[in-house]
């Protein structure tokens, strides 16, 4: 399922003295089976854009096409419930949205809300729990008796049980320790690779954006500032820093090293492994002269 926006605009409390333009002139395409990262500082419009991707918000101007459905300010899209099944959103701290007395009931809530029978929902719950790396033994336990990491995985399983084509992730690793962040991000990447689920990742982590995404969209003051591959985006680190954004740790280290020796080593290295390779290649070139 592809998502396309055309001059998308959103104004909060439009027509009142308190109106505030949050989005304008948004023109982006999120292809089927893609991994897109959306970055930008707080207040740049990332979360507002995110809520348009499955119809939680509807445009005040322009349009957004989600699969075969087009939503505009004049003509509200019908069938948004079906879109919300196909485009699942995992908000920050999704474990705070758990509410049922057992893990199984919590995961089954979404599928049953979209018309699945109880038996179908139970089967989907088992499958989803396996996808997030948890045992079926947890199905009859209270979600509130689980660890924080397990609770988050159960909440994510509730979204996956609806079999979405697109998964929108809003800072999915917030509050997790480094190991937990890595495990969660690897889990999503595996879903992207093996299940064909498209991922839209909203993140402040430049490491996550550079490591996992095919393409990156930079939001700034309510509109798209720049878009491109990770290599294209991080090839101008000074530009990102001027915008108040961070760059991957490997890029920061390379900039400091290049400043120290007064020479450019290579294109920006998007990972520590790539940085090591580029440093060794640079040393080899110097020694061969």
What is the mean predicted confidence (pLDDT) over 122-130? Answer: 95
What would the mean pLDDT of 212-219 be, rounded to a whole number? 96
What pLDDT score was predicted for residue 63? 95
Averaged pLDDT, 65-90: 84
190 domain residue, yes or no: no
- pLDDT score of 208: 93
State the pTM of this model.
0.89
Output the pLDDT for position 77. Answer: 61
| Residue at 79 is within a domain | no
What 3-state class would DSSP assign to 102? coil
The answer to whether residue 68 is domain-embedded is no
Kindly state the tokens that stand for 284: 């080899």
In-domain check, residue 95: no
- How many residues are listed for the chain in this entry? 289
CB 219, CB 45: distance < 8 Å: yes
Q: What is the pLDDT of residue 273?
A: 92
The mean pLDDT value of the chain amounts to: 92
Q: What angle do CA 33, 39, 42 make, to 5 degrees?
A: 140
The answer to whether residue 231 sits within a structural domain is no
Does the pLDDT value for residue 75 go beyond 80?
no
Quick check: 192 and 35 in contact, CB under 8 A?
yes
Contact 54, 61 (CB under 8 A): no
CA separation, residue 193 to residues 33, 34, 196 (Å):
9, 10, 6
Please report the pLDDT score of residue 84 as a whole number.
86
- What is the DSSP code string of 178-223? HHHHHHHHHHHHHHHHHH--EEEEE-S-HHHHHHH-SEEEEEETTE
pLDDT tens-digit map of 223-234: 999 999 999 999
Look up residue 128 and give its two tokens: 């989803």
Sign of CA dihedral 67, 70, 71, 77: negative
Cα of 188 vs its chain's centroid, Å: 10
The pLDDT value recorded for residue 74 is 80
Alpha carbon 287 to its chain centroid, in Å, reads 43
Q: What is the pLDDT of residues 160-187, one digit of tens each?
A: 999 999 999 999 998 888 898 999 999 9
Confidence of residue 4 (pLDDT cuts 50, 70, 90): very high
Q: Is the pLDDT of residue 288 over 90?
A: no
Token digits of residue 190: 């595996």
CB atoms within 10 A of CB 15: 8
- Asked if residue 85 has pLDDT above 90, the reply is no
Question: What share of the chain in percent tops pLDDT 70?
Answer: 98
**Through-space distance between the first and last CA atoms of the chain, rounded to whole angstroms:** 52
Mean pLDDT of 110-118: 92
Report if residue 19 sits inside a domain.
Answer: no
Residue 10 lies in a domain: no
Cα 167 off chain centre by: 7
- Amino acid 130: pLDDT: 93
Domain count, the chain: 1
Q: What range defines the domain where residue 257 resides?
A: 248-288
Whether 181 maps to a domain, the answer reads no
Which whole number is the average pLDDT over 28-41?
A: 95
Average pLDDT over residues 68-93: 83
pLDDT for the residue 134: 93
Q: Is the dihedral of CA 281, 231, 221, 55 positive or negative?
A: negative
Q: How far apart are CA 145 and CA 177, in angstroms?
A: 20
pLDDT at 216 over 80: yes
Q: Could you give the CA distance from residue 280 to residue 176 in angstroms, rounded to a whole number? A: 34
Read off the pLDDT band of 238 (50, 70, 90): confident
Mean of pLDDT values over 47-74: 92
pLDDT at 76: 66
The secondary structure of 117-160 as a DSSP string is -HHHHHHHHHHHHHHTT--GGGTTS-GGGS-HHHHHHHHHHHHH
Phi then psi for residue 96, to 5 deg, are: -70, -15
Spatial separation of the C-alpha atoms in residues 231 and 236, rounded to whole Å = 9
């Amino acid at each position: 399922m592809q998502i396309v926006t055309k001059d998308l605009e959103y104004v909060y409390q439009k027509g009142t003295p308190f109106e505030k333009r949050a989005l304008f002139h948004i023109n982006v395409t999120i292809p089927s089976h893609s991994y897109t990262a959306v970055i930008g500082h707080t207040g740049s419009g990332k979360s507002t854009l995110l809520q348009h991707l499955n119809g939680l918000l509807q445009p005040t101007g322009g349009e957004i096409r989600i699969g075969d459905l087009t939503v505009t300010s004049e003509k509200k899209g019908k069938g948004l419930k079906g879109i919300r099944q196909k485009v699942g959103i995992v908000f920050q701290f999704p474990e705070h949205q758990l509410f049922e007395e057992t893990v199984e009931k919590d995961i089954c809530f979404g599928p049953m809300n979209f018309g699945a029978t109880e038996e179908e929902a139970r089967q989907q719950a088992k499958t989803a729990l396996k996808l997030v790396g948890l045992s079926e033994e947890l199905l009859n336990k209270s979600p509130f008796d689980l660890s924080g990491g397990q609770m988050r995985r159960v909440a994510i399983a509730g979204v996956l049980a609806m079999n979405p084509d697109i998964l929108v992730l809003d800072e999915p690793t917030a509050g997790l320790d480094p190991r937990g962040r890595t495990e969660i991000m690897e889990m999503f990447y595996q879903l992207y690779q093996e299940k064909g689920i498209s991922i839209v990742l909203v993140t402040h982590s430049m490491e996550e954006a550079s490591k996992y995404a095919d393409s990156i969209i930079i939001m700034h003051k309510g509109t798209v500032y720049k878009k491109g591959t990770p290599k294209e985006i991080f090839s101008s680190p000074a530009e990102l820093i001027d915008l108040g954004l961070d760059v991957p740790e490997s890029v920061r280290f390379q900039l400091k090293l290049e400043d120290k020796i007064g020479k450019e080593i290579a294109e920006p290295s998007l990972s520590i492994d790539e940085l090591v390779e580029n440093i060794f290649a640079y040393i080899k070139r110097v020694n061969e002269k």
